[in-house]
Amino acid sequence: MAKSVVIIGCQWGDEGKGKLVDLLTDRVSAVVRFQGGHNAGHTLVIRGRKIILHLIPSGILREDVLCVIGNGVVISPSALMEEIKMLEQQGILVKGRLKISSACPLVLLYHVALDRAREAARCKQAIGTTGRGIGPAYEDKIARRALRVGDLLDESNFTANLREIVDYHNFILREYYRVEPVNYDQVLEQTLELRSNIDHLITDVPMLLAQIRQQNKNILFEGAQGAFLDIDHGTYPYVTSSNTTAGGASTGSGVGPLHLDYVLGITKAYTTRVGYGPFPTELKDDIGIHLAKRGQEFGATTNRPRRCGWLDLVALRRAITISSVSSLCVTKLDVLDGIESLHICIAYYYNGQRFDLLSDSKILDRCEPIYIELPGWQEITAGITEYDQLPHNARSYLQKIEELCGIPIDIVSTGADREQTVVLRDPFAI
């Protein structure tokens, strides 16, 4: 039976989804991105070689896997062309393997200018966006004025519509934000390369995916960012502008919800967050610094240092519920090696009351985490590929997560490389 597996982040992004997508792509015919844009940064390390992808699905590193960008993704023509070039320079064939929905909204220069102007105007209330124009591009989509990939095919219409939309956004840039407007010719130029290469990329994605399923072949849906950056379910307004939860895989690709068979939720063994916004288990002490250093916690897109903290099960359980997560993959277990005592947040205190679940993210920054303490391990777990070889205390840590989340752990990642993985159950074989 063909299976469609959705991989999503269960925290604030950067959980290591790219590595898992890459690992599981040898079981599939297609990998599909369904939301986000080039704000994502998926780091893949294959036999020591590191590649960072922003827009193209992580399946691109396996030959014969079709890479599909669904309608839920916003596409920057320049970022896409740059990424295709980078991959081809490394000898990775992209042409013929990449398919894009005509309904993907474009991210253009005025979106970037608006993103940056808004962030600057927000001062202390800034979101800490990646500055890539993602939010304004989704705004245009919802406002029904976006230029989309399919519009590139009709040159005269495209240039006329572009003129109108540039004028509109330039008015806001100039008159409201008091910043430099964008240059129409430069925006047009940004689209030229993609326009001349777009024909063979555009595909009816829902029908393509339906066909693949009918042929009894597996599909992997690759989420970007994480549950608490979801525009509806995240720590609003400190979120990204798309649905990062599993439902987004359906609306963002045109595959009906009953054709998504399994959701693999990715969580780090601790927690990180880039950008501003509440983070109850954040550690500003030596352990936080240690996690950042050991885990090389710098954003793959902006190189900003990530904030680090203990694993938060109140948040994780919520992510599991919202996305009907079937099982977990715990990444970066090795980063906890050598820490004497580990903490897991199991509830919050707020206003003198204990909350095992929390629905109002507005009060998150005033919540005190309640922790359980578990003994750490001194042994090195980096690179371990067999569960039985993990130290006793590392296994106890994982078992505690399973017990408190009520779902199994299928995969444990013990290093950045594809090979450094313990696979307990294969999501495609269940």
Nearer to ligand IMP, 238 or 377 (CB): 238
Among 68, 127, 173, 316, binds ligand IMP (CB under 6 A): 127
Q: Hunting for tokens 């844009």 — which residue is that?
A: 37
The reply on whether position 230 binds ligand IMP by CB under 6 A is no
* Residue 266 found at the interface with ligand IMP (CB under 6 A): no
Q: Which of the residues 3, 22, 38, 42 is marked catalytic?
A: 42
Which residue's beta carbon is nearest to the bound ligand IMP? Answer: 275
CB 378, min distance to ligand IMP, A? 31
The site for ligand IMP, by CB under 6 A, has a size of: 21
Angstrom distance (rounded) from CA 397 to CA 349:
23
CB 10, min distance to ligand IMP, A:
13
**Which is the catalytic residue, given 3, 14, 261, 268?**
14
- Inter-residue contact 13 to 331 (CB < 8 Å): no
Q: Vertex 116, ends 114 and 122: CA angle to 5°?
A: 100
Min CB(7)–ligand IMP separation in Å: 14
Which residues inside 40-99 make contact with ligand IMP, applying CB under 6 A?
Answer: 40-41
Sole binder of ligand IMP in the list 4, 29, 101, 240 (CB under 6 A) = 240
Complex with ligand IMP: residue 213 or 273, whichever CB lies closer: 273
Question: Which of the stretches 63-71, 128-136, 183-191, 404-412 binds ligand IMP when contact is defined by CB under 6 A?
Answer: 128-136
Kindly report the CA angle at 115 between 112 and 121, in degrees rounded to 5?
140
Determine which one of 3, 99, 141, 233 is catalytic.
141
- Is 25 labeled as ligand-binding? no
First to last CA, the chain: 11
The sheet that has 4-9: what strands, in order across it? 202-203, 98-101, 66-69, 30-33, 219-222, 4-9, 262-268, 327-331, 409-413, 421-423
- Give the one residue of 25, 39, 43, 250 binding ligand IMP; rule: CB under 6 A: 39
Q: Choose which of 13, 16, 18, 309 interacts with ligand IMP (CB under 6 A).
A: 13
128 is a site residue for ligand IMP (CB under 6 A): yes
Q: Shortest Cβ distance from residue 53 to ligand IMP (Å)?
A: 11
The reply to whether 136 sits near ligand IMP by the rule CB under 6 A is no
Residue 225 contacts ligand IMP per CB under 6 A: yes
Q: Should residue 275 be labelled a site residue for ligand IMP when binding is judged by CB under 6 A? A: yes
Q: Let me know if 141 is a catalytic residue.
A: yes
Closest CA to 309 of 289, 287, 283: 283
d(CA 16, CA 416): 8
CB of 303 to ligand IMP, least distance (A): 12
Asked whether position 14 contacts ligand IMP by CB under 6 A, the answer is yes
Q: Which is nearer to ligand IMP, 223 or 254 (CB)?
A: 223
Question: Does the annotation place 19 within a ligand binding site?
Answer: yes
Rounded Cα distance, 221 and 250, in Å: 9
Q: Within 10 A of 179 (CB to CB), how many other CB atoms are there?
A: 15
In the list 4, 29, 71, 130, the residue contacting ligand IMP (rule: CB under 6 A) is 130
CB of residue 301 to ligand IMP, shortest distance in Å: 6
Q: Is 248 among the residues that bind ligand IMP (CB under 6 A)?
A: no
Preceding peptide of 237 cis, ω within 30°: yes
Closer of 134 and 311 to ligand IMP (Cβ): 134
Judge whether 240 is annotated as a binding position.
Answer: yes
Active site residue 14: yes
Q: How near is the Cβ of 348 to ligand IMP at its closest, in Å?
A: 21
Q: What one-letter code names the amino acid at 195?
A: R
Residues annotated as binding site for Mg(2+)? 14, 41
User: Which residues here bind ligand IMP, judged by CB under 6 A?
Assistant: 13-14, 39-41, 127-130, 132, 134-135, 224-225, 229, 238, 240-241, 274-275, 301
Residues serving a catalytic function are 14, 42, 141
